[in-house]
Amino acid sequence: MSSDTATLLFELGMEELPPGALDDLSDRLATAVAGGLERAGVEYTTCRALGAPRRLAVQIEAVARRQPDRDFERRGPALAVAYDDSGAPTRAAEGFARSCGVNVNQLETLETDEGAWLAHRGTESGRDTRELLPGIIEHALSHLPIPKRMRWGDQTSEFVRPVHWVVLMLDEAVVPVTVFGVDSGRESRGHRFHHPAPVVLAHAHDYTAAMRDAHVLVDRTDRRDHILEGVRAEGERIGGHAVIDPALLNEVNALVEWPVVLSGSFDEAFLRVPPEALISSMEGHQRYFPVRDADGHLLPRFITVANIDSRDPARVVAGNERVIRPRLADAAFFWDQDRARTLESRLPALEQVVFQKQLGSLADKSARVADLAARYAERFETDPEQARRAGRLAKADLVTEMVDEFPELQGVMGRYYATEDGEAPAVAIALDEIYQPRFAADAIAASPLGRLLAVAERADTLTGIFAIGKAPTGAKDPFALRRAAVGLLRSLIEGEHPIDLTALLEDAAAHQPAELNAGAQVQPLVEFCLERLRGLYHEAGYGAELFEAVRSVHAPDALEPLDFDRRLRACHDFARLPAAGSLAGANKRIRNILRKADRTPPAHIDTDRLVEPAEQALNTAMAARAPAVEALIAQGGYSEALAKLAELREPIDRFFDGVMVMSDDAAIQMNRLALLQRLQQLFLAIADVSALPESS
């Protein structure tokens, strides 16, 4: 490494961090320190965000030891006031010179368009990076996003956890700084049990290796990969494969410094409990990784990651097996207790659970969803009575013991309990699928009844919350309405249900309490859904011009998401055709010509007034394709219809090359406008292709 650069190491040692805070704080600290160097003009090559439960660390390579020298220019008084009539410097000139630390005769002249001025030019020497670091570190720490800070001892400073040691080094040299009452040095700390003695760092570059020797893996990515590989290997060793939830993996990674993978077992009798409940207990309570066999069935095994390499791992495993048994016993107890009553018998309890004060109880909400689902059942090709039944039972599992203990199992347990009660399979499945999609990458409900309930549930929530004036504002969305709208739209589009969203929301609004006048919020809600639709297409990589091409032609009081989607995808296909750019430009030209016309063109084209060969050819080509285009549009075959219209490129180009639309003959002029109007109408029946780029 060049003598002009050095490795920078900053480590902040403390009590164990909250596992959910480690990754974010580690990344933010590295970004803040690197940003401080950049603002100071100090160059570097790579920056690594490191961290473990008891430390946040930043290691930056090839940090310049000094700021670069900086040329400066400082403007003083105008020459007109800098010297008197005899040419002697005035007080203004002398004062400016003193402020610059030079004599007047050392000043220079600056010529600008505004005039001539005295100026002082020079080169400012860069400061040592060592001098800059304390300020950079303090600024970085003070700007970390810590929602809950704490004090310790007699300190007045606050941080996420009590700080016990600080390391700040440039290569082998310690950089003095005091943060949270602790002076920096070269002593870190190793694993609490495997290496309780201080770790003396000889060089900043040795940090990760020295900490590994002290039983601490400080590289979060390496540590996560080590855990992942170990858990997978252990799952295979015990005859199955580990169920690895990425969120759980990240949490475990933030809890251990020296991960050691072990496996244990539990009583096979617990497998009578639904596997989701056992998995929730293992993952949520104990942070264990469950294990499935080759057929996907849960095995009576678990994998845990210890933070210590025990001399007697069997005792560690036995301890974990002792701890998991009462947890699984609780899940079994909840399962047995809940099955003693049917879901239907729990419906009266929903009357005591408030959904929202102005919108009533969960029983009220269930009744609204049931009525709306029954009304739209045939549109989803489902049985109205099953739809009503599923709507009524959809929230019943929320008052069971199992869901009270494991809220993430809502819907899942409803499906199991409905099956136990002998409900129709479609109803039982829908009680689970009503919540799909649960998150951004989740699939929509697989069954038509599940999609119907998912749509009815979200439509009721959206209309109700909008009616009470709680629409999302800015980043605030306490009722997760954006997610609800996206789930509704995706269910209709991906499920291929041709439902008018405006009509659906009007029906949902009609079921809300009459005093709320929910119907008045339907149109703002449609616009809200349109914006969510815009976001969906943006995330999928579709250009904004495609969205606008369709939105500009859809009726303001109606929105059918499936039809909107088909039109947008048709525009996407059309935009890739060789003729697309030319036709987009032609449609812009037609739009502008028709806007500027002082009279409305006639509805019909008079073929006797088509005198130019080019206009006759365009009319013939258009007339030949119009019936097929209109038939395709009626069937929703928008891509095929636009491909058919793309065949008009050549006659359209010839028309604009050889025909003067605004003829001096008024009758011919209006007939040509009628021709262009008919052409425009064919395109606008699908989308406004003039919104598309003119180059394909």
Side-chain-facing half-sphere of 163: CA atoms under 13 Å: 21
Enter the tokens of residue 238.
Answer: 């015990």
The H or E element containing residue 12 is strand 5-14
Looking at the DSSP bridge assignments, the partners of residue 159 are 150
Please state at what angle helix 501-510 crosses helix 522-539, rounded to 10 degrees: 140
In terms of Cα–Cα distance, which of 592, 575, 558, 527 is closest to 687? 575
406, pLDDT greater than 80: yes
Contacts of 314 (CB under 8 A, 6+ apart): none
Enter the tokens of residue 497.
Answer: 């249900």
In terms of Cα–Cα distance, which of 353, 351, 357 is closest to 469? 357
Q: Give CA–CA dist 41/248, Å, rounded.
A: 40
CB atoms within 10 A of CB 28: 17
270, pLDDT greater than 60: yes
Q: Give CA–CA dist 235/230, Å, rounded.
A: 9
556, pLDDT greater than 80: no
In terms of Cα–Cα distance, which of 220, 169, 213, 168 is closest to 190? 213
> What pLDDT does residue 25 have?
95
The b-or-e profile of 174-203 (16+ CB within 10 A means b, else e) is bbebebbebebbbebbbbbeebeeebebeb
**Please, what sign has the CA dihedral across residues 36, 37, 41, 45?**
negative
Enter the tokens of residue 62.
Answer: 């090839």
Burial classification of residue 227, based on how many CB atoms lie within 10 Å of its CB (0-12 exposed, 13-18 middle, 19 or more buried): buried
**Class of 568-691 per CATH?**
mainly alpha
- Tell me how far apart the terminal alpha carbons of the chain are, to the nearest angstrom: 51
455, pLDDT greater than 70: yes
Give domain limits for the chain: 5-67+128-213, 73-120, 222-339, 345-541, 568-691
CB 680 within 8 A of CB 594: yes
> What pLDDT does residue 226 have?
97
> What pLDDT does residue 597 have?
84
Can you say how many angstroms the Cα of residue 290 is from the centroid of all Cα atoms in its chain? 28
> What pLDDT does residue 80 have?
83
Taken as a whole, the chain contains a residue count of: 696
Enter the tokens of residue 346.
Answer: 């729990």
113, pLDDT greater than 50: yes
417, pLDDT greater than 80: yes
Q: What's the topology of domain 345-541?
A: Hypothetical protein af1432 (1.10.3210)
422, pLDDT greater than 50: yes
The b-or-e profile of 425-448 (16+ CB within 10 A means b, else e) is ebbbbbbbbbbbbeeeeeebbebb
CB 44 within 8 A of CB 37: yes
Looking at the DSSP bridge assignments, the partners of residue 265 are 301
Can you say how many angstroms the Cα of residue 47 is from the centroid of all Cα atoms in its chain? 25
Enter the tokens of residue 486.
Answer: 């996206």
Can you say how many angstroms the Cα of residue 674 is from the centroid of all Cα atoms in its chain? 48
Confidence category of residue 2, pLDDT binned at 50, 70, 90 = low
Task: Tokens 């060089």: give the residue.
Answer: 203
| pLDDT single digits (tens) 9-38 | 999 999 999 999 999 999 999 999 999 999
Greater confidence (111 vs 215) lies with 215
CA torsion 419→421→424→425, rounded to 10°?
0
295, pLDDT greater than 50: yes
CB 117 within 8 A of CB 76: yes
What DSSP character marks residue 511?
T
| pLDDT single digits (tens) 195-247 | 999 999 999 999 999 999 999 999 999 999 999 999 999 999 999 999 999 99
DSSP string, 115-181: EEEEEEEEEEPPPBHHHHHHHHHHHHHHTS--SS-B--TT----BSS-EEEEEEEETTEEPP-EETT
Q: For residue 164, which amino acid is it?
A: H
CB 243 within 8 A of CB 288: no
What proportion of the chain, given as a percentage, has pLDDT over 90? 81
> What pLDDT does residue 125 have?
78
Confidence category of residue 664, pLDDT binned at 50, 70, 90 = confident
In terms of Cα–Cα distance, which of 61, 32, 55 is closest to 204? 61
| pLDDT single digits (tens) 320-369 | 999 999 999 999 999 999 999 999 999 999 999 999 999 999 999 999 99
Q: Give CA–CA dist 679/675, Å, rounded.
A: 6
Confidence category of residue 696, pLDDT binned at 50, 70, 90 = very low
Give alpha helix (H) positions in 241-383: 246-253, 275-280, 313-339, 347-350, 362-376
Burial classification of residue 652, based on how many CB atoms lie within 10 Å of its CB (0-12 exposed, 13-18 middle, 19 or more buried): buried
The chain-wide mean pLDDT, for the chain, equals: 93
| pLDDT single digits (tens) 575-595 | 999 999 989 999 999 999 998
